[in-house]
Amino acid sequence: MDTVCACLVVLCVLALTCRAVPVNVRAFTAINDRPIIGIAAQETAPNTTYGDTYIPATYVKYLESAGARVVPVLAGEPESYYNDLFSKINGVLFPGGGVSLTESQYARTGRIMYNLTLQAAARGDLFPLWGTCLGFQLLNTITAGKNLLQATDADNLTMPLQFSPDYTNSRLFGKVPKDVYQYLAHESVTQNEHQYGMLLEVFQKHKELYNFYHVLSTNVGRKGKRFVSTFEAFKYPIYGVQWHPEKNAFNWNPHYVINHDDHAIRVAQYFANFFVDEARKSGHRFQSAQDEAMALIDNYTLHYFPDGTFYENYYFNFTRRA
């Protein structure tokens, strides 16, 4: 019996040792001063004049302003492409846009990178994800396993955040400077551009969401619907905002109500700096400087639209460069 008991104890210890445990996000420090972050491309349909997919330049500039370089995460590629790219870059940003959260190639990219991030965390390998607007909605949809969005009527609406009581008990806001907090809490510095969102009451009814994400702020749309506006995963380096920090400094379309004052720019820079600092904790590397150089978004053509919208986009095709 003693031998049997001893064997059982050994097996239990081995089981506990081998169990996948999320990485301790707070314990990581910067190890990489050359961070490279991927931005997910999304479909341009129905208008494919310039390419099948695109990435708005605002997100590229946003990350570069904090000291990162950018690689496009192309859509419609074989899964081996994403596995390989994941091993070389230091994070992924899912930008805003207007494609399906379940059926698009953008959504497929999101699911693959999300699963790779969780798998990496189980190995003690930190790899951060960030979702903005549509990207935030994508993170909700992937985690919940279905699209739970409802109408919010928060299109072209700029407002302050309404912080959760425990917002300081977070990585994203735990060390927020006093001035940035004051701007976020009391000034219209967060630009919303969405008709749908994750209603707080819906979020709280789904344990897949409330057990996974820490709600850091909410907001109310024009029709009185309270939606989640900022969150971070409890145990993973995953962050999401329903609003657009990149627009404050880099979107000059006069049809949008965007705050461009110095306080709004300070806010935008805080979030860019935070996410790039998270990417600096990733030790992923390209195999050579040449491999790195050929992957950067600088290899692609930037299209500028001088039609009064001031849009700048990078366009791609599914199987070849634009």
Instruction: List the catalytic residues.
Output: 133, 244
DSSP codes, 13-72: HHHHHHS-----GGG-----SS-EEEEE-EE-TT--SS-SEEEEHHHHHHHHTTT-EEEE
- Rg of the Cα trace of the chain? 20
272, 62 Cβ separation under 8 angstroms:
yes
Using an 8 Å Cβ cutoff, are 60 and 315 in contact? no
Q: How many CB atoms are located within 10 Å of the residue 11 CB?
A: 10
Contact predicate 306/312, CB 8 Å:
no
CA distance 63 to 65: 5
Q: How far is CA 96 from CA 13, 25, 166, 263, 312, in A?
A: 45, 25, 27, 23, 14
End-to-end CA distance of the chain: 70
Contact 184, 192 (CB under 8 A): no
Q: Tell me the C-alpha distance between 113 and 193, whole Å.
A: 25
Which H or E run contains 311?
Answer: strand 311-316
Strands (E) located in 164-310 = 190-197, 213-220, 226-233, 238-241, 302-305
8 A C-beta contact, residue 284 and residue 89: yes
Length of the chain: 322
Q: Under a CB-based contact definition with an 8 Å cutoff, are residues 91 and 275 in contact?
A: yes
Burial of 13 (0-12, 13-18, 19+ CB in 10 A): exposed
